Amino acid sequence: MATSTEKNIAVHSLIENRWSPRAFSSETVSEEQLASLFEAARWAPSAMNEQPWRFIYASKENGEDFERLFSCLVEGNSWAKHASALFVTIAKKNYDFNGQPNGIARHDVGLATANILLQATDLGLHVHLMGGFNAAKAQDVLGIPEGFEPVAMGAVGYVGDPESLPEALKERELAPRQRKPLNEIAFKGVWAQK
Ligand SMILES: Cc1cc2nc3c(=O)[nH]c(=O)nc-3n(C[C@H](O)[C@H](O)[C@H](O)COP(=O)(O)O)c2cc1C
């Protein structure tokens, strides 16, 4: 269901084919596939090569671990229960080399997460990221130490049947994808007023 409102400029198929489903099939994602997602994250660039990203993940087969991660999500993200795996992204707040705050840590966690999304797409998988989760609860129940903070969560799996979703979610699943036009987001030289 990867449709776009603007198709005139080509982008890589890994970018074009990535999207965020809510319906996941029951097909499972292997430990090897999950490892390759985090391996892709490992090779992301970061300020001072700090690599401030950390991840906690669990697949459906790790019943209790999966449930623990799932329990951190807000109710609106309940569809994630049908994903094959869940993960949380975590940022290390201070630089290793001088202990000072790393103001760009969350940015770099985002870069690493983008690698996960592209690697997943290459494997025929989809990842749906979620900001709708209880970060304080995640910090507590997942044993995330001081100095680190949860950033986002992700649901991983194979795309499922939209018919399996409740009506409202099904509508969103099937709606055309929307993006701002290019001239609203990229300006040549200086900020361009509309
Ligand atoms: C950091 C982040 C947080 C998000 N949080 C949620 C969320 O809590 N629940 C949800 O259903 N989708 C969430 N999304 C998915 C976005 O809604 C989705 O990426 C956006 O609508 C664009 O659609 P696409 O990913 O299919 O291109 C989140 C995406 C990102 C990157």
- DSSP-assigned states of every residue in 61-129: TSHHHHHHHHTTB-GGGGGGGGSSEEEEEEEE-B-TTT--B-TTHHHHHHHHHHHHHHHHHHTT-EEEE
For the CA of 132, the closest atom of ligand 1 is 8
Tell how far the Cα of 130 is from the centroid of ligand 1, in angstroms: 6
Ligand 1 neighbour 20 (Cβ under 6 A): yes
Q: What is the pLDDT of residues 86-125, one digit of tens each?
A: 999 999 999 999 999 999 999 999 999 999 999 999 999 9
Q: Provide the phi-psi class of 98: left if phi over 0, else alpha when psi is between -120 and 50, else beta.
A: alpha
CA distances from 164 to 21, 82, 127, 155 (A): 12, 10, 18, 17
Whether pLDDT at 7 is above 90: no
Tell how far the Cα of 175 is from the centroid of ligand 1, in angstroms: 14
Tell how far the Cα of 20 is from the centroid of ligand 1, in angstroms: 7
Report the sign of the C-alpha dihedral through residues 137, 142, 143, 148, in that order: negative
Ligand 1 neighbour 164 (Cβ under 6 A): no
Ligand 1 neighbour 177 (Cβ under 6 A): yes
Q: Whose CA is nearest to atom 19 of ligand 1?
A: 20
Topology adopted by domain 49-160? NADH Oxidase (3.40.109)
Ligand 1 neighbour 129 (Cβ under 6 A): yes
Q: Whose CA is nearest to atom 12 of ligand 1?
A: 130
Q: What is the pLDDT of residues 114-172, one digit of tens each?
A: 999 999 999 999 999 999 999 999 999 999 999 999 999 999 999 999 999 999 999 99
Task: Look at the block and give the residue holding tokens 């969103």.
Answer: 172
Could you tell me the residue ranges of all domains in the chain? Answer: 49-160
Tell how far the Cα of 18 is from the centroid of ligand 1, in angstroms: 12
For the CA of 74, the closest atom of ligand 1 is 8
Who has greater pLDDT, 160 or 2?
160
